[in-house]
Every structure is written in C-alpha cells, then in structure tokens.
Amino acid sequence: MSDWRKKGIILFLVLLILFIGTSCRKKNNNDEEEKHTDAGVEKTEDIQTVDQPEIEGVASPLSGIYAEEEKINRRPFTVVFDNQQGARPQAGLIDAEFAYEFLAEGDITRYLGIFLINEPETLGPIRSARPYLVEKSLEFDSHLVHVGGSNQAIADIENKKAANINSMSRGNDVFWRKKHKKIPHNLYSSYEALKKAAEKSNYRKEPQFDGFKFNSSFKEMGRGEIANEVKVKYFKNSEASYIYDDANKIYKRYYNGTEHKDEITEETLTATNIIIQQVSAKVIDEQLRLKMDTVGEGKGKYITGGKAIDITWEKDSYEGATKYYDETGQELILNPGKTWVQVVRNFNNVTIE
C-alpha cells in the first residue's frame, strides 16, 4: 500500500475519534444541565409547597381577630350610642368588636359598642347610661363613655368606682356637638380623645377580663335551624334584622328594612355572630325606665354561618362575665369576627327563617 494512502487512513481514524469524543462530551454536559435544571425546579416547588403564612399578633378576646399585642393588652372602651330617629346613622359603631342593642325606655333602644383593637376617628351620637349598661362596662373591665345617666346608673358608677368618661365633667376637647343633628342627638367624640381622657384620669391600663372563646378559623355548625334572615322587632319603628351573605360568611345588618350604614364610611354594619339573649325586665319609674335582670340565667339563640341553635346564659354577679352555653352544656365557641347581641324580653317578636 502506498505511503499517501496509509497517511489518509490514519488521518481519517484520528478525525473519527475526535468527533465521537466531542459528541459524547456534549451529550454528557446536556445531561448534567438537565439534571441541574430539574433539581432546581423540584427545589423551588418544594419551597412553595412547604411555606405557610404565619399569623401575626395576638387574638382579641372580644372578636378572635389578630392584632398587635399592644392593642390587646389594654382596657376596652364601652360607648353608649343613641338610637333615636334623630340620631341615626351612628358613627364608629361599625368598628365595635362586640355590640349590644338594649331596650332603654318607652319605644327607645340604645346601643352599646365595645372597642379594643379598632380606633374610630368619630364616635357618636353618645347618650346617657342605664344600670345594665354600667354593668356591661364593668363586665368587660372597660372605660364607660356616656353623657349623664339615670339616678341609679350614676349611683352605680360611683359605688362600683367605674372608670367612666362622662361628658358632664369633661371639656370640649373630649366631647363636642355637631351641627348636622339637633340636641341631644349630636354629641360626638373620638377614640384618640377618649384615650387621652382616660390617661388624664390615671385609670388603670392593664385589662382584667378573660373574654370569649373563638374557633381558630370560621367553622360552620353541623346542626341547627336555617337562619338566612333574622328579625328582632322591639317596637313598630324599631326592628333590627340581619341577612346572611354566604359568600363572605357574615350577616348584613338592617334597621327598619334599610341597610344599617356607618355615618362616616357609609359602609353596612355586619356581624359574624348574632346572639339573642332573653332577659326579664319591668318598668320602674314615670320615665318608663327599665330594671333589666341581666344577672342570673336565661335562654337565647346563637346564630352564625346561616344556622341557629338554642343556648343558655349565666351571669353570677353585677361585675361578673356573662357565659353562654350550647345545648350540651359546653361553653359557646364563637367564630372569629364581630358579634351583635340583641337583648329581648321574650321571643314573641323574633323571627328566624
């Protein structure tokens, strides 16, 4: 074989070996890149799956809603709200974590809003106290905000040494009248003004009440009657009602058939929990004021998530906490959110459907 042919064959074999080696290296590099890429994707997916949102803050004893610890470890404010026709709509009541509607006298009802984590810039109209409203304020170890009161209410405030903020003894830096409503339905304040008033009076700051039990998250009741609409009629022109919003798991509040809206935000008041509490009451004077037996025990209804169940309540003393129990005798566990308590003398004018 000639020399040039031998050289050609050798050159061909060298080039073939180089080509095969290069191809193998490329394939190996691609495999490694795919491995690294796949590993990266798997790692990212694992992180997204494992990560869980953390709950910040501390649960409020009034609503189960989480807030900064500094807002929880303080005494609440209990505000007496006017509910006569000339006073509506109210400002700030929408921010109460726990709220009550009580009979006052004649055909009048009065609201009591309890504030801990929310700090409304406007609160009112504010009205006078009654003994059972003083009692509620003491029950929550709160500052009672009011303008005067019945003789018995004022006596109870003094005897029980209630931490009260009374407009009768405060300046216009704490309470003021607005011109858009007529006296006496136009007295207002703010959370900040009330806070400064409490500090000026050197009232104790540390809270001394336990609050209520709450589920960690919203829980529908497996039992109970359907409660998509609730009506509580006190008098001809005093009917509170609630309509269930299943999408948001809340009840929208109405008064005399119209949405109950906040005066400032114009948003509709809502409740996650509704309690209807039956108490005995009787007229005690010419002004038709009532003595209301909120100490003792009685029956009620608990409504949440479109269902209603029968409950009982107990309260051992004037300053003691009201405890609610389900049909099995277990203390009621509320869903996190705002609660409205409708205090009634009987269930004759209560409709649940």
Q: Is pTM beyond 0.75 here? A: yes
Sequence-distant (≥ 6) Cβ neighbours of residue 168 within 8 angstroms: 147, 148
Nearest to 149 by CA among 169, 124, 123, 131: 131
DSSP 162-183: --EEEGGGS-TTT-EE-TTS-T
Nearest to 195 by CA among 160, 143, 148: 143
In this prediction, residues 105-109 reach a mean pLDDT of 84
- C-beta separation of 112 from 99 below 8 A: yes
Interatomic CA distance for residues 88 and 96, integer angstroms: 16
Is the pLDDT at 282 greater than 60, yes or no? yes
- Burial class for 60, CB neighbours closer than 10 Å (0-12, 13-18, 19+): buried
Report percent pLDDT > 70 for the chain: 83
- Ordered structural domains, the chain, with CATH: 59-200 (3.50.90.10), 213-352 (3.50.90.10)
User: Per-residue pLDDT tens for 230-245?
Assistant: 999 999 889 999 999 9
Interatomic CA distance for residues 290 and 297, integer angstroms: 18
Give the 3-state secondary structure of residue 34: helix
Nearest to 238 by CA among 80, 108, 54: 108
User: Per-residue pLDDT tens for 112-157?
Assistant: 999 999 999 999 999 999 999 999 999 999 999 999 999 999 999 9
